[in-house]
Amino acid sequence: MIRKIISVLLCVAILLTLSFNISAEEQSQTKNIPITSEITVNVEENNDIVITEPIMPVDDGVSLVATGATPIGHLDTVNSSIIGGWAYQSDVPNTPLDVHIYITNNSTGERVGFATIANGYRADLAAAGYGNGYHAFQHNISWMAYKPGTYTVRAYAIGVNSNNPELYSSPKTFTVRDMQGNVERATDEIIGWAWKPDAPNDAVEAHIHIVQGGTVLDIITTSANRYREDLDNLGYGNGYHGFKTAIDWSQYPEENLRLIVYMYDGSGYSPVLYDGYYENRMPITLLGMIDGKGIDHSTWIWESNTTTYCENIGCSQLNRYNYADATNVNYSYSRFIKESSFCAIATHGNKYGIQWSMRNIYNGHDDCDDTCTTCFGSYNTTFLNTMSDDYFADTRCVVSIACETAKGGGADSTNFVNVLQSKGVKTVVGFEEKTWFFYNTETLQTITTKGSFKWMNEFVRLLSEGYTVDYSVAKAYEETLLINLAAAGYTEEQYESGDIPEDVLIKEVICGLDSYCVVGDGSQVIKH
């Protein structure tokens, strides 16, 4: 009897020991996996994704001592749009399990977690005897919220009063490739494309930043959703990834502005597609012509101080020509004026126009004589009147020095300067130099210390210092007169009192200085 009792007690002890060992083994396999909060994204451009961990982990509610069956399952798919699979626990065959998914950036260690439920029906699960078959899960994911890199994806079945095993075939990896795109034109239109491989048919955006110094003047947003056959043919999703937007540069400062184009998808990672400059200043063009009599009016445009003055105005490019005509596409007055912010012209002419000549310069041949009728002509009001009223709308100022272009001034609507201004030029200055030939007929070239060409240099200098057109015109006339008086050996008092002989006054002092007019906005400041 005693032996039987001892045997029974020994068996109980063995069973208790086995039970303890099993419980301890199950406890060691039990995983208490906290669910982290969803991603928090800073949407400002060019900021990295910020992943916020929870202040306190969320308890999965799993007992440390598991008594139920161990769940099973499989992580089937990790692709560009879904994370999917199934999870099942045999002792609760018709109960859907929670599944916890964790995505870790392999480079940074940043992690985000999601909870989903495996309650989707799959016929293959039902056919295999996994309860009622409602044990599939699918988490829809937008990898656009993740910066480029390789990620590890893990999935865990959260058992009902059981342990929480990692699903079979977990982990899987997924690589988020960098967003791709290009800017093909960055002028008056911004044209290009932008595409994210991991969301191949989704349209992202292009954000165009216009920057002056360190200040962002404007951000223009456009969607990259225009169809392009070339992108389609190359396999860039459905091909709807092009963008095109016009820029009205007239609303921005006349400077060399920085232009940055970002690809933007709301994730906080915004790669730069283009970083360059747009020259928002038109050139300055100086035209010093050889007129129909062979007299060279171009000397002043080649002087180094003239270059300095123009650069100080703020020109993107300084062009100089001593040949222009009315109709030549490449060398027409119209083109030079239209494509310049400031254009200064010195030649012969009358109140209705200015003269052009090929003499001594056309194709390098001196083949024009006094009887030549094809070597020179006139750019005049008849030609200007064929143009639209806004033809020169981008031109800020034109200065015309010719014998009688100032005749009538603003009161005469038929003269050259008025008609030119009526075609869109903001300010036109006419300077009359009818006495200029008395001094220069013999030399056939300008003398820059006297006459209209000294006035032109002074005028451009004053503009470059930021003075208005009105002030610069009058001041340049005054200063040129004083310089000419000094060169001729006379004082301002002698000039004002009339003590200078007329022939000296004409030839030596007011040579080229007669009258001027300003048509349009005389208060305009050309310097920019």
Question: HEC string of 398-452?
Answer: EEEEECCCCCCHHHCCCCHHHHHHHCCCCEEEEEECCCCHHHHCCCCECCCCCHH
Residue 274: count other Cβ atoms within 10 Å of its Cβ: 19
| Confidence check: pLDDT of 1 > 50 | no
Instruction: Give the model's pLDDT for residue 307.
Output: 93
CA–CA dist 335, 502 (Å, integer): 42
Q: Are 310 and 457 in contact (CB under 8 A)?
A: no
Q: Which two tokens stand for residue 276?
A: 């360059």
For residues 484 and 452, is the Cβ–Cβ distance under 8 A? no
Residue 486 has pLDDT above 70, yes or no: yes
Q: Do domains 30-176 and 284-520 have the same CATH topology?
A: no
Q: Which contiguous run of DSSP H or E holds residue 155?
A: strand 149-158
Domain locations along the chain: 30-176, 180-279, 284-520
Distance CA 367, CA 361 (A): 9
pLDDT of residue 437: 45
What pLDDT, in 10s, does the model give residues 155-185?
999 999 888 999 999 999 998 878 889 999 9
Mean predicted lDDT score pLDDT of the chain: 80
Length of the chain: 528
- Determine the pLDDT at residue 294: 67
Helix 451-464 and helix 304-313, axial crossing angle in degrees, nearest 10: 30
Strands (E), 178-271: 180-186, 189-195, 205-212, 215-223, 226-227, 240-246, 256-264
Within 10 angstroms of residue 153's Cβ, the number of other Cβ atoms is 18
Cβ partners under 8 Å of residue 254, min gap 6:
280, 281, 282, 314, 341, 528
Specify the pLDDT at position 433: 66
The class of domain 180-279 in CATH terms is: mainly beta
The region that residue 235 occupies, defined by phi over 0 for left and psi between -120 and 50 for alpha, beta otherwise, is: left
Compute the Cα dihedral for 235, 238, 240, 241 and give only its sign. negative
In the prediction, which pLDDT does 398 show? 96
* CB of 304 closer than 8 Å to CB of 255: no
At residue 487, what are phi and psi to the nearest 5 degrees?
Answer: -65, -30
In the numeric block, the tokens 């016929």 are attached to 123
pLDDT-derived band at 92 (thresholds 50, 70, 90) equals very high
Tokens of 431: 């300077």
Nearest to 122 by CA among 174, 70, 68, 77: 77
284-520 topology per CATH = Rossmann fold (3.40.50)
Q: What is the pLDDT of residue 136?
A: 96
Q: Give residue 265's pLDDT.
A: 86
Phi–psi pair at 418, nearest 5 degrees? -70, -40
* 443: confidence class by pLDDT, cuts 50, 70, 90: low
Asked whether the beta carbons of 385 and 441 are under 8 A apart, the reply is no
pLDDT of residue 306: 92
Say whether pTM exceeds 0.85.
no
Ramachandran angles phi, psi of 372, nearest 5°? -70, 125
- Tens digit of each residue's pLDDT (9 = 90 or more) over 357-405: 765 444 343 445 555 555 677 888 998 999 999 999 999 999 998 878 8
Instruction: Please give the pLDDT value at position 510.
Output: 76
- Kindly list the strands in the beta sheet with 189-195, ordered across the sheet, starting from the edge strand earlier in the chain: 180-186, 189-195, 240-246, 226-227
Any idea which fold 30-176 has? Answer: Immunoglobulin-like (2.60.40)
String of b and e for 203-242 (b: at least 16 CB within 10 Å)?
bbbbbbbbbeeeeeeeeeebbbebebeebeeeebbebbbb
**For residue 368, with 0-12 CB atoms within 10 Å meaning exposed, 13-18 middle and 19 or more buried, which class applies?**
buried
The region of weakest confidence among 205-219, 265-279, 293-307 is: 293-307
Residue identified by tokens 């254009």 is 343
Least confident segment among 255-259, 310-314, 466-470, 508-512: 508-512
C-alpha gyration radius of the chain: 42
Rounded to an integer, the average pLDDT of 336-360 is 84
pLDDT digits (tens, 9 = 90+) for 73-83: 999 999 877 99
